[in-house]
Each structure stands twice: as C-alpha cells, then as structure tokens.
Amino acid sequence: MSQPTPTHPPTRPLPSHLHYDVVWMERTFRSRATTESLLRPQLESGNLTSQDYDAAVSFLPGFHRHYRTAGVFAGTGLAFKFRRPQWTNGRIGLFVLFGAIMGNTIGVLADFKAHLSFVRSIQDPAGFSQAMDTIQKQIGGPIGRGPTIPRPFEELQSSGEQPNQERMNREQESFASSTNPPVSKPSTMPEPVASPAAASTSKWDQIRATNARKAGSSSWDNLRQQHERTTIPRSPGGGSGSDSVAASANNDRAAEQAEFDALLEKERNITS
C-alpha cells in the first residue's frame, strides 16, 4: 500500500517592498519609552541600523501624531472667526463643520507627508521591514487598515547604500583579509639585457683574442728579433777603448748584416 505523499504548505514569496502602515505605526509607537523598548531588541539583533533606530525613536512618537487634532482646532477657529453676523445658526454650524473637516484633512496630509519623508530616509528598508514584522508578531494587532507607503528594496542598491546583512558580510570579509594577509608573489622584474653595442664589442674582443692565441710568431718576426739582438752595441769594458776592438766589432756587424740580408732574400724567395 503506497504511503500518501505529504503535502507542504505553500511557501510565501520573499517580500520585495517595505509596506509601511501609517495607522499601525502611530497606534503602536505612542510614546518614546514604548518605541525604545520595542526597537531596542531589533537593533541588537541586527535588523535595524543605528541610524534607522535613532531616526525612528526621534520621529515615531513625535508631534506629527497631533497634526490632525491641531488641524481640526485651527479649521474650527478660523471658520468661527470668519462667520457672517447675518448668517443663521444652522449656516454658521455648517461653516464651522466645514472648517473642522478641512483642518483635519490638512492635518492628515501633513502627517502623511511626514511619514513619507521618514520612509524615504530609512537606510535599510529590508531590515526595517523585518523588524516591523517581528514586532507585529509579538504584540499582534491588525495591519493594512490605513494608508500604506511602499518602499522597494531595490532603491537601496540604486541609492548606493547597502542592507545591514550585506554590510555585515563585507565587514567579515575585510576582517578575514586583514587576519590572513595575501601571499606575496615572486617578483617578475625582467633581467637587464646587455646593450647591442656592449655585446658586439665583447664579440670582437673574443675574435681578436682567439686570433692572437692561434697566430704564432712568423719567421719574419724571428729574423727581426735576432737582428735586433745582434745589432745592440755591447757595453765597453772598463778602460778598454782600443781601435782594434772597434774595428773587429764593425767587421762583425757587417758580416751579420750580410748574413741577415741573405736570409731575408731567401725568405722572400720561399714565400713568393
């Protein structure tokens, strides 16, 4: 026997707007002490930012709550002041009633305008909506019987602000990045490259050094060095300066010169 498939209740879609019920807000937050006691837990839980908390505590129990009453008295007084003496009591009563209604209407519009300005100043509409839903579940009471001011959550991103949860995530990421510094990457600086002039100069030096090592002393260099050694005059002995020694030295040089010339001629014949 097949078991029955369990049925789950339909899931409610996540809200995308802040639905600000003006009548419920004024009936709930009647005094500053009540407002602080209801909003303080929402601030501590993170649903409200400190800016929204301070603005709500300052605005919700404010004098705007009495705009309608002030409008009724102002309208009634003005109507009674501008009545005509020749009017009947019924006509005067209708005129005063009309003044009271107009004063009440002006007070309602002024009160609604004040709430509209407050809703537009909320920093985190999503968190504020969550806070109001939590408070409504705690204290109960009907919602939606008065004028409602909608505020889409998308306005938060377009205005450049961030919701409370996203701001907390960014703070956690920044804390994690500060505790775990990034690993430094090895330097990728290119090594200095020798200039073409220096490279060509070193190459020519290598060629010259190689040729100098390979090239031996030629026979011309040997003959020239031998001739220079034989033609160097010997230092005269101490006190001996006879002509016979000088003549013998001249004859030796002449013979050596003739021998050198013969060797040069022979070398030229061989190379040619």
Q: For residue 99, what pLDDT is reported?
A: 94
Indicate the SS3 state at residue 21: strand
3-state secondary structure of 4: coil
148 three-state secondary structure: strand
User: From CA 208, how far away is CA 97, in angstroms rounded?
Assistant: 121
Q: Is 70 exposed, middle or buried (0-12, 13-18, 19+ CB in 10 A)?
A: middle
The token pair that represents 244 in the structure block: 């016979």
Least trusted range by pLDDT, from 31-45, 113-127, 210-224, 253-267: 210-224
Q: How far is CA 7 from the centre of its chain?
A: 49
132-159 residues labelled b (16+ CB within 10 A) or e (exposed)? beebeeeeeeebeeeeebebebeebeee
pTM listed for this prediction = 0.52
How many residues are listed for the chain in this entry? 272
Can you tell me which residue has the tokens 């505790």?
179
- Phi, psi angle pair for 115, to nearest 5°: -65, -40
pLDDT single digits (tens) 196-244: 444 455 665 676 666 555 545 555 566 666 666 655 555 444 444 556 6
Which of 138, 113, 102 is closest to 59 using CA atoms? Answer: 113
Which tokens hold the place of 120? 């537009």
Q: Look up residue 33 and give its two tokens.
A: 């002490």
Mind listing the pLDDT tens digit for each residue in 168-183? 555 556 545 555 555 5
Q: Domain boundaries in the chain?
A: 17-173, 217-230+248-272
Residue type, 32: R
φ, ψ at 46 (rounded to 5°): 100, 0
Please, which residues have CB within 8 angstroms of residue 105's CB and are 6 or more apart in sequence?
A: 71
pLDDT in tens, 106-149: 999 999 999 999 999 999 999 999 999 999 898 876 665 667 88
How confident is the model over 83-117, as pLDDT tens digits? Answer: 898 999 999 999 999 999 999 999 999 999 999 99
